[in-house]
Amino acid sequence: QVQLVESGGGVVQPGRSLRLSCAASGFSFSNYGMHWVRQTPGKGLEWVAIIWYDGSKKYYADSVKGRFTISRDNSENTLYLQMNSLRAEDTAVYFCARVPHGGWYADYWGQGNLVTVSS
Amino acid sequence: EIVMTQSPASLSVSPGETATLSCRASESVSKNLAWYQQKPGQAPRLLISGASTRATGIPARFSGSGSGTEFTLTISSLQSEDFAVYYCQHYDGWPRFGGGTRVDIK
């Protein structure tokens, strides 16, 4: 069955960096686009970044553009989110999710990983 | 930017009754609309895509309808496991979620 397991979250000071990973199994990872989505009590669910199945295209929310980088290693079935210049407002639970072939929604989600940006 | 508005914000329903949740888009998203269910401490779970197509394994008591700017999720004969928060999300361009509707036990 499809499994997405995130890791790499934690507490980080403002201005610092953090990298999230998402290990995929149970499907042909290299055939699917992938998302990062985050959730906060105040702003709800927010799409952060999307990457094409082969990594050739990447799209970002305006709130993270220039600071976050989505990438993938299809040989390792792993998705990444490199987060630089972190701000307090980046504090959220971050989910990785699979993009089905029918559109930019998410048919399978990881369990979520909490990132707290605080001094 | 397309804004998604869900109503009501919360809904109290008795088990066995029907819940009707609404989602409105600020401009047309055609049928590029998904619904998710989220329980505390869990990731969202896809229920519906294409406004009306149930995802794999989703019971028939969940049904979606609408197109353009007005959408509805109907949950018939509510079961105890259906009490949760429900989100709509458009994917006609950059995807955005609505603010959610909480369905709790009356």
- How confident is the model over A16-51, as pLDDT tens digits? 999 999 999 999 999 999 999 999 988 899 999 999
pLDDT, tens only, B3-22:
999 999 999 999 999 999 99
A62-110 pLDDT, tens digit each: 999 999 999 999 999 999 999 999 999 999 999 999 999 888 999 999 9
Give the number of other Cβ atoms within 10 Å of residue B14's Cβ: 9
Does B44 sit within 8 Å of A107, measured CB to CB? no
* Chain segment A71-81, per-residue pLDDT in tens: 999 999 999 99
Task: Name every chain A residue with its beta carbon within 8 A of the beta carbon of B100.
Answer: 44
Q: Which residues of B touch A111 (CB under 8 A)?
A: 42-43
Give pLDDT, residue A105: 96
> What's the confidence (pLDDT) of residue A14?
98
CA–CA distance, A49 with A90 (Å, rounded to integer) = 13
